[in-house]
Structure 1
Amino acid sequence: MNNKYRRTVNREFEKSSFWPTFTDLLSTVLMVVILILFSSESISGSVEQDLAKNVNASVEETFKKSKIPVKVDKSNGQVTFGEKTMFDVDSDVLKPEAKEMLKMFVPKYIETIYKDYGDYISKIVIEGHTDDVGSYIYNLDLSQRRAYSVAKFIVGDEIGDYKYKDKVTKHIIAIGRSKAELIKNGDNSVNRDASRRVELKYEININQNK
């Protein structure tokens, strides 16, 4: 009787001991997976930052002596086109001089960023921005149409053929930002002339071809 009781108790004890052990093991496995994923994301982010620095340095070197009327940000390779260069007031139609400027600028810029880093370029982003005059919706529409006009020209027939144009056609997107990202003066007032702009930037993803 006592032996039978002890065997029953032992079996129950073994069953009850199994589940905490299994739960602890599962928790450990999940923690390891999370740490691996976090480490992988951190490494990817670091590599992408290093790549971006190299791309930005190449862009700066290409255009530092250029007379093309664009502003290239040394820190992120972003290119800014002012409204006066690109459009008439309240218009989304590219000026003739804007088209000529883009014909000179775009092939050089695209070749610079795709030549050594094309496998990692995931997007070419065209962003339209306005000042703070008018409603948000009106400016959203205007900024979107302006971004689209620039994107359409960059991959259209009028600009002609250039190296990596086929890749740009797959990667390019146009976004209207309305007055969400205004440029401010030193006294925090809105710099309306500077705020009315179109920006060209790239995005990197080192994992896109995996």
Structure 2
Amino acid sequence: MFGMRAAAPQRPKTEGEKPFWISYADLMTALMILFLIVMVASLAMMTKRIADAEQGEKARAADISKLCNQLKIRARNLDIVVDCRENRINFGEAGRFGYNDYKLGPAGQQALRNVVPLVIEAANSEEGRKWFKQVLIEGFTDTDGSYLYNLHLSLQRSEWVMCAILDDRYSVVTGLDQDQKRQVRDLFLAGGVSFNNAKDSKEASRRVELRMQFYGLKDRTNATATTRPIVFDGTAPEKCLLQ
């Protein structure tokens, strides 16, 4: 009787479970706090990226506007119209072609002599080196004839302008050194557009325009990383195949 131990008082069943539930609650709280920290950090990074993109786009637009307006001022006294809203250069009546003709007259040739050095100068400016992508030579026609006929004629008109710049036999754009001609090959692109964007009259529709194109933010990054300049044979003379 004396050897018998008194039975220990039995603890409540929930007492042993308390440490587990306290640890689980702490773990859930910690995970929730960690989740909130990650969300706040992600939102902050996203907000910064959006702000940086907006700031970069504003800076790009300001640079292009400055470049175009400087070009517009330089061309003002040369009867050359620079439209900075559409980024287009046109020569007015001087840039018109005769019916079924793809060669510009003396006034148009003079306009080319005036504008090409200005475009090269703009491309070599601080803003131009960052954003200037290319100049598209667009030849337009009226609506006389079939679609393919006018497509071919418009391409001839834009091609003739390129020939007039690079082929010394045309003697239209003179005084360009080899480096400037290389820049013309890199920057200028001839492309026919048929009778798209027709004007009020057929005479005004038969024209040539230069459309300036600029890199976007992502385009500029990709171009810097991947674009390789195309190198042509510098010893071969430039000869236009148009007759």
3-state secondary structure, aligned to 1:200: strand
Residue identity matched to 1:114 = N
CA distance in 1, matches of 2:205, 2:100: 14
Contact 1:140 1:179 in 2 (8 A): yes
User: For residues 109-134 of structure 1, what are the alpha-carbon distances to aligned partners after superposition, in whole Å with 9 as ceiling and x for unaligned?
Assistant: 32245245332243122152445666
SS of the aligned residue for 2:197 comes to coil
On the 8 A contact 1:123/1:173 being kept in 2, the answer is no
Aligned with residue 170 of structure 1, among 170, 186, 203: 186
2:37 is paired with a residue of what secondary structure?
helix
Amino acid at match of 1:170: D
What's the offset of the Cα at 1:146?
A: 3.9
1:120-172 deviation per Cα after TM superposition (whole angstroms, max 9, x unaligned): 24312215244566676765565455444434654x34345346443343333
> What is the CA RMSD across the aligned residues, in angstroms?
3.8
Name the CA shift for 1:182/1:26 in 2 (closer, same or farther; >3 Å): farther
Quote the sequence identity (%): 20
The answer to whether the aligner puts 1:41 opposite 2:50 as a matched pair is: no
Extract unaligned runs of 5+ from structure 2.
Answer: 1-12, 226-243
Distance 2:95 2:23 in 1: 84
Structure 1: which 5+ residue stretches go unaligned?
A: 184-189
Q: Superposition pairs for residues 1-210 of structure 1, below 5 Å?
A: 2-66=14-78, 70-73=80-83, 78-81=88-91, 85=95, 87-90=97-100, 93-95=102-104, 97=106, 98-99=108-109, 101-128=111-138, 129-131=140-142, 142-144=153-155, 146-151=157-162, 153-154=164-165, 156-158=166-168, 159=173, 161-162=176-177, 164-183=180-199, 190-205=200-215, 208=220
Instruction: Name the amino acid aligned to 1:166.
Output: R
Return the alpha-carbon distance in structure 2 between the equivalents of residues 19 and 50 of structure 1. Answer: 46
Residue 186 of structure 1 aligns with which residue?
none
Q: TM-score, normalised by structure 2?
A: 0.60
Counterpart of 1:169, as a letter, is R
* Whole-angstrom CA distance in 2 between matches of 1:90 and 1:23: 71
CA drift of 1:197 comes to: 3.2
Structure showing greater radius of gyration is: 2
SS of 1:65 mapped into structure 2: helix
The Cα of 1:40 is off from its aligned counterpart by 1.8
Q: Offset at 1:27?
A: 3.0
Task: Please tell me whether the aligned partners of residues 155 and 190 of structure 2 are also in contact (alpha carbons under 8 angstroms).
Answer: yes
Counterpart for residue 187 of structure 1:
none
Structure 2 CA distance for aligned equivalents of residues 140 and 18 of structure 1: 69
Contact 2:97 2:206 in 1 (8 A): no
TM-score in terms of structure 1 length: 0.66
Contact 2:87 2:211 (C-alpha < 8 Å) held by counterparts: yes
SS at match of 1:56: helix
Distance 1:134 1:45, change over 3 A: farther
Cα gap change, 1:37/1:19 in structure 2, threshold over 3 Å: closer, same or farther?
Answer: same
After superposition, the Cα gap between the structure-2 partners of 1:140 and 1:9, relative to the gap in structure 1 and judged at 3 Å, is farther
